[in-house]
Amino acid sequence: MSRLDSAIRRLEAQRSCLDAAVTLIEAESVAGPVMELGLGNGRTYDHIREALPEREIFVFERKVAAHPDCIPDQEHLFLGDVFETLPLALARFDGMAALIHADIGSGDEAANAKLAAGLAPYLGRLLAPGGILVSDQNIPIAGAIDLALPESVRPGRYHMRRRP
């Protein structure tokens, strides 16, 4: 598979998983805001805000470099390293997030495993009951349930977990 094929599949997996999570939280009326970890150029942020126009979306990013149309206002931006900003978010949103999308991994597997282990306790606490985590990395949240991925998504390419 070419790198282009791989990039396309990754983006398709992201979209399919986000759409599946949106459908679930809307169908089951899981209330609460959305947390987007990693603004990047704002593609998934833009997709989520289109899909969930009534929800507040809080974005975590250490250096904003997104398309100008895809930059949240200051009230919805946690600027800085997530390990500095997640504790601040927890103080406000403990147990409240209906959807978290985390897309801050890199090509370094060892670093990703360390990152995922570090994120797990924060994201586990941020999630509302019934809330869903969609992530590029396998984030081992204690007590969370693995959700079946959409059929088009190869296992391991993206991840979906839910707080019971």
Instruction: Determine contact, residues 94/125, Cβ cutoff 8 Å.
Output: yes
Q: How far is CA 70 from CA 43, 48, 111, in A?
A: 8, 11, 28
Q: How far is the CB of 24 from ligand SAM (least distance, A)?
A: 20
By beta-carbon proximity to ligand SAM, the closer residue of 15 and 161 is: 15
Site string for ligand SAM, 5-44 (x = CB under 6 A): ---------------------------------xxxxxxx
Q: How far is the CB of 38 from ligand SAM (least distance, A)?
A: 3
Helix (H) or strand (E) holding 135: strand 127-135
Q: Is residue 63 near ligand SAM by the rule CB under 6 A?
A: yes
Q: How far is the CB of 142 from ligand SAM (least distance, A)?
A: 21
Residue 39's closest CA among 100, 99, 91, 102? 102
Q: Return the half-sphere exposure (C-beta side, CA atoms, 13 A cut-off) of residue 98.
A: 21
Q: Which residue in 13, 33, 60, 135 binds ligand SAM (CB under 6 A)?
A: 60
Q: Residues in the site for ligand SAM, rule: CB under 6 A?
A: 38-44, 60-63, 81-82, 103-104
